[in-house]
Structures are given as structure tokens and as C-alpha cells.
Amino acid sequence: MFIESPRYTERFGSVRMNHVQRVISLDSGVKSKLPPHGAMGVVKIDEETIKYFEDRMAIVIPVKDEKLKLFEGVVSGVPHDCLVIVVSNSQREKVDRFRMEGDALDQLCRFTFRQALIAHQRDPAIAEAMVEAGYDDLLGEDGLVRDGKSEAMVIGLLLAKAAGKEYIGFVDADNYFPGAVLEYVRNYAAGFSLAQSPYSMVRILWHYKPKISGGLYFRKWGRVSEITNKHLNNLISSKTGFETEVVRTGNAGEHAMSMKLAEILPYASGYAVEPQELVSIFEDFGGILPTKNIKVMEQGIDIFQVETRNPHLHEEKGDEHLQAMLLSALGTIYHSRLCGEEAKQAILAELVHQGALKGEETPPPIHINAPPKKVIASKFITAIQRDLDKYYVLR
């Protein structure tokens, strides 16, 4: 593929945050000559390079009671060499939707000779493995993993680690276009290939032009993400003293990380998870607060934001969901150790203005799951590997 070269990189401490790069063309052929790196501001990412990263990447698909057709479409869009890991929280009583997902996955894998993992978030064996590994952050009062997409992401991450993967990407199960899924993963690979540091992240910016139906909904979604980005940028400017608009992907559900980075980040519950990743990176490596991780600081963290060619269309979840999303997204910034009084006031004013808070209220505290590095990985892997076979669709 051809992609804009990272034209401008902003640095905060040891974080290198790249401005949005657009995909110029989805394919770059085998014959086309490689332009001199960076000439005309375009980079060619050849197929071999993309395949190299795909082979080392797990794609985690969190799913909760989505339409089966959508789920199947998403799986069919994931490049063949990636390991698909489905973490489901779908219902099991009456209609066993989890079973249906497993069957659909099994069939796709049989047709195409590929391997995949599927686990239920509330499976007691997963909770037990977590306890054995000394990591009970994800567990609720009933001793099982709590509900939530973020919790599913951490399970996926640990399974990817158990399967020996070096990169992990997330793709939502409610995407309408399999071709867009294919592109997301190729964009992840492109980003990783441009990274200088072993600690890297790629976030997707959708290119959407909704016209037919749901136009209003998309505008509102666009508003939510604009507001999140604005306050993330504010947080940065308030510390550096320079205005910036570098952050464009605060709420990006579609994103990927090197395993090395993924395991040292904390994961906030609920819709706070994606913005919290950035907030935590700025806190830990932005050079303002002391870091606990000198080694990472030395190598730096590369963040890429890639704007897709494909439009994005996913299930509509309604307005209430958007309010909740805004509240938790801005909550992550509000509760950050980096957030000064002025930035806090701006967030409160915004939330009141958007009708997400009343005058005197403040954003509720956010539950943050400790970095998975805290998991005694060897113990988790031993515990889960006793059972790992059970999670593979093709046994």
C-alpha cells in the first residue's frame, strides 16, 4: 500500500506522536519501484512487510450479542495470517449466542484452514487462571471477570501472549464492511513497520461520509470524538505551553499495539479504555511526571494515527450510549494526575453544556485495571495452557 509519510511528529518527553497519515492507495503492487523513502511525502509499504507483521499479530474481536452476520463478516475480513481471538460476553441462556458464534467461527476456520481462539468472558477457567497468576483486577464480586469491553480486551491480550504473538490489534464485532476490517489490519501493519521503538501503537481514524440513514447519529458520534480529542489536546498544551491538534483518535476502538507496549499499559473499564491509553502514556512517558520505567523511556513510544480509505459503518447504539461515552472519556482526562485546575474546569463546563453532568457534579471515578505485566505471565500461561486446547476452534 501507499501511505503518507509521517509528516510531522510531536514529542512529549519520550512519546513521539505522529499527525494523521492518510492511506493513499490500498495496494502498491509488486513491480512498482520503491520511491526514495519519504519522497513526495509518500511511503510504500510492500506486501512482504505487511505479511511479516500480520503473521506476528493477534486480532482480538470483543463481541457481545451482535448480529451473527456482522460477526462473520468481521472474521472474514481479518487477514489469513493473523491469529483471530474472539472474546465473547454474549448470552448463553435461552438462545446460546456464544455457541452460535463458536459454530460460525469454526465453520469459517474449516473452510479456510486457519486456527482461531474463542473464549467466553465469564468462563470460570479464565477467572481461575487470573487468580493463579496473581491478577484479580478484572474480577467482580462473583469471582468471575466483570462485564465490559475493556475486560475482554485484557483477556484477549493475555491469550495472545499465551499464543506467543508480538502484536495485538482490536477490531469491533459490529463493523458492517469486511473490506474495512481488512484495511484496518493492513494499516496496523503499516504503522508497525514505520516504528522505531519496540513500544508502538497504531490508531485508526475513520473516513466516513454517512449520507443515507443515521447521518445525524454519525454527526453526533463525530462530535463526541471531537470533544474528546479537544480535551486530550488541551491536556497536552496545558503542560507544554504550546497549542496542539495532534490527537485525532482519542476514542479509536480500532487500534493496535506491540505486545511490549500493550502489557505495560493500564486499562480503564467501560468506554474510558481508549482515551485512558493515551492519558496513561502521557502520564508515564510524557516527561512531566516521574517514570517508573526508564528502559521504555529510553526507547520511546511511537504512536501513529492512520486515516482509512474505507468508510466506517457500525451498529447504532443510540444517544444514551454517546453521553456515557463522553462522560467516561472526559472522566479519564479529568482524573489524570496531569490535569490542572484550568483543564478540569473546561471539562466540567463541557460536560454540563452537553447535558452529561449537572451543575455541581463531577465525573465519577474510573476503575482502572493494572497493567497486565502484573500478571505473573508464566503462571497464567501454565494455567490457561492446560485449557488452551479448549479455546481453539479446530482441535
Minimal distance, residue 174 CB to ligand GDP, in Å: 5
Q: Which does 149 bind (CB under 5 to 8 A by kind): Co ion, ligand GDP, none?
A: ligand GDP
CA distance 212 to 210: 6
Q: Which does 121 bind (CB under 5 to 8 A by kind): Co ion, ligand GDP, none?
A: ligand GDP
Q: Which does 165 bind (CB under 5 to 8 A by kind): Co ion, ligand GDP, none?
A: none
Q: How far is CA 367 from CA 200, 298, 300, in A?
A: 24, 29, 27
Q: Residues in the site for ligand GDP, rule: CB under 6 A?
A: 62-64, 66, 87-89, 121, 147-149, 152, 172-174, 253, 314-315, 317
Span from 2-10, 238-246, 261-269, 306-314 in contact with Co ion (CB under 5 A):
306-314
**110 versus 321: smaller Cβ distance to ligand GDP:** 321
Q: Which does 75 bind (CB under 5 to 8 A by kind): Co ion, ligand GDP, none?
A: none
- Tell me, residue by residue from 334 to 353, as one string, x for binding to Co ion by CB under 5 A and - for no binding: --------------------
- Tell me, residue by residue from 161 to 200, as one string, x for binding to Co ion by CB under 5 A and - for no binding: -----------x-x--------------------------
Minimal distance, residue 175 CB to Co ion, in Å: 8
CA distance 24 to 309: 8
Span from 190-198, 225-233, 314-322, 352-360 in contact with Co ion (CB under 5 A):
314-322
CA distance 243 to 291: 24
Span from 187-195, 212-220, 289-297, 311-319 in contact with Co ion (CB under 5 A):
311-319
**317 versus 353: smaller Cβ distance to Co ion:** 317
Does the protein bind Co ion through residue 314 (CB under 5 A)? yes
Backbone angles phi, psi at 189, to 5 degrees: -60, -45
Q: Which does 175 bind (CB under 5 to 8 A by kind): ligand GDP, Co ion, none?
A: none
Does the protein bind Co ion through residue 66 (CB under 5 A)? no
Minimal distance, residue 392 CB to ligand GDP, in Å: 18
Binding site for Co ion (CB under 5 A): 172, 174, 314
